[in-house]
Structure 1
Amino acid sequence: MLKRFAEVDPERLTPPEKAIYDMIASGPRGTVPYIFQLLLRSPQLAERTQELGIFCRYETGFPPRLSELAILVVAKHWDSAFEWSVHEHEARKAGVPEAVIAAIAAGRKPDFGDADEALVHGFATAFFAHNDVPDDLFAAAEARFGRKGAVELAGLIGYYSMLAIVLRIYRVPPQGEA
């Protein structure tokens, strides 16, 4: 099978690639994750993707625990080893219970002790199962998280799906295994 991804050598980047690399490395991530190393092949795409990513990861109205839960559902749906490897750790740090992480990894519906976690999980899994979110579930998300929260949750699912698709196409391995 053709290897499609290799870690970048910052010394071999073009000036536009290096500028984006440095911008990402000096941002809230503190590093240049594999997805952005890959996207650097198109500096404009890398720059715009990382800007949206900062919002989706750090600036929505969702606490990290709920964002990371949604991201795990996305990573599992797309079978993205890289995305899972990063966000499994982040989910633990954010307080997602180990049993919930294990259930998602195994493709099972977790037993939630938290209604917000159950709602985020249900919203994301319903979308992936039906390419839609049923009206009652959508209404529940808007009632709980507001119109802004519902659209941010949809945006999180969409943004991380885009990353997962690119990661899968380029067969990016889990972080640290390139």
Structure 2
Amino acid sequence: MTRLPSTPPAQLDANALALYEKITAGPRGTTMLDDQGVLVGPFNAMLLSPPVGDALQELGAAIRYRSGLSARAREIAILVVAGHWDSAFELRVHEEIGRGLGLTEDELAALRTGAPLELADPGEDAVLRVTRALVTRADLDDPEYAELGESVVFELTTLVGYYATLALQLRVFRV
């Protein structure tokens, strides 16, 4: 059972309501709302501290919508983190996105469990290997570091940290 209150928008204070409106007006739209109009997943928790929640959701929007990673590569990385943290909410949401991008059920299962997986696209395969190294060792060796280029390594380390943060929050708040 969740530890977070399900506060309808009409009951939010001015700062939380402003953040709620920013989240729901952005690229995520109303996909993160329940049938009562309450934010679900990590977004409901962000309303607990609107200044921090806003910064966190802005980082998430940059990772999801302004990254140099391809959509499939980004979802592969997100699913590696979600699987590593056993984050049911993130797995459910991002597996559905992954299916829409052509990831197979076998690929999704391997991303969820950490099972061996070789992807046909060399860039996606490199993202998979590097992300797995980041979540298991919290570091990269020199060949892994050099494999994707510094800007991609920067984006992947940011993505791993962001989704690990969400997984932790989802676990603690029992979402």
TM-score of the alignment, normalized to the shorter chain, above 0.5: yes
The answer (yes or no) to whether the contact 2:82–2:112 under 8 Å persists in 1 is no
Q: Which range moved further: 103-112 or 24-33? A: 103-112
> How much has 1:125 moved relative to structure 2?
0.8
Task: Specify the alignment match of 1:161 in structure 2.
Answer: 164
> How much has 1:87 moved relative to structure 2?
0.6
Task: Specify the alignment match of 1:66 in structure 2.
Answer: 73
Question: In 1, Cα distance between the equivalents of 2:104 and 2:65?
Answer: 20
> How much has 1:105 moved relative to structure 2?
2.1
Aligned pair partner of 1:114 in 115, 121, 124: 121
What is the TM-score when the length of structure 2 is the normalising length?
0.89
| Pairs aligned (count) | 167
What is the TM-score when the length of structure 1 is the normalising length?
0.87
1:103 aligns with 2:110: yes
Q: What is the percentage of aligned positions where both structures have the same residue?
A: 39
Q: SS of the counterpart of 1:120?
A: helix
> How much has 1:5 moved relative to structure 2?
2.7
Question: In 2, Cα distance between the equivalents of 1:151 and 1:22?
Answer: 30
1:149 aligns with 2:173: no
Amino acid at match of 2:174: R
Q: Cα gap change, 1:98/1:27 in structure 2, threshold over 3 Å: closer, same or farther?
A: same
Structure 2 unaligned blocks of 5 or more? 33-39
Question: In 2, Cα distance between the equivalents of 1:128 and 1:37?
Answer: 25
Task: Specify the alignment match of 1:175 in structure 2.
Answer: none
Map of 1:37-116 to 2, 5 A cutoff? 37-116=44-123
1:30 aligns with 2:29: yes
> How much has 1:86 moved relative to structure 2?
0.8
The answer (yes or no) to whether the contact 2:84–2:112 under 8 Å persists in 1 is no
Task: Specify the alignment match of 1:176 in structure 2.
Answer: none
> How much has 1:6 moved relative to structure 2?
4.1
Structure 1 unaligned blocks of 5 or more? 173-178
> How much has 1:100 moved relative to structure 2?
1.2
Q: Cα gap change, 1:6/1:83 in structure 2, threshold over 3 Å: closer, same or farther?
A: farther
Task: Specify the alignment match of 2:11 in structure 1.
Answer: 12
> How much has 1:76 moved relative to structure 2?
0.6
Q: Which range moved further: 97-106 or 131-140? A: 97-106
Amino acid at match of 2:116: K
The alignment yields a C-alpha RMSD, in angstroms, of 1.5
